[in-house]
Amino acid sequence: MSLTARGTPWVARMSSRRFVLLVLVCVIGALLLEGPLEVRGASPDFVLILVVYGAIRTGALGGSVLGFAGGLFRDTLLLMHFGLHSLGLTVIGYVVGKMRESLYLDAPAIDTLILAGSKMLLDVLVLGVASGGAWKAFEMRFFWESPASALYTTLAGALLARLIGGR
């Protein structure tokens, strides 16, 4: 089955040069733009954007490898709860890649729904462990920051992928 066959996600049909450009923009965004783009505790998660679109492009194995590498990158930037993002992004990369292999992901905006759901899932894991049993703090951050951060990440990811991906 060729990459241009019906049912193949558009990210998988993106040229290698455009995908490398997406990777570079996401890495630079994670390093330099997440802090300045923060609004009331919510900022776009460029590493998650890279993992989700990379998993849609490469499948379960590639998504889990990219998730692990992206998680290590995120963990070295934050330097707290080392390995937590690696675990979360590896699982997300695998699940999204598996969804790519078994579901029809070429429908418009399905990638944005996957991106929003992935951000909420990652926030449940990270905030749940980081709260250390202080559920009041978890509730405050999860119900106030996570939806805004998921929306912000989804909008940034959709815009970035559409501009670079040419769709």
Q: At 158, is the secondary structure helix, strand, or coil?
A: helix
CATH number for 10-165 (one of 1.20.1280, 2.60.98, 3.40.50, 1.10.1760): it is 1.10.1760
The domain limits of the chain are: 10-165
pLDDT tens string 97-113: 998 877 766 666 788 88
d(CA 33, CA 153): 12
* Four-CA torsion 77, 162, 36, 85, nearest 10 degrees: -20
Reported as a single tens digit per residue, the pLDDT across 3-47 is 445 455 666 677 888 889 999 999 999 999 988 988 887 889 999
Please name the residue that has the structure tokens 């241009």: 4
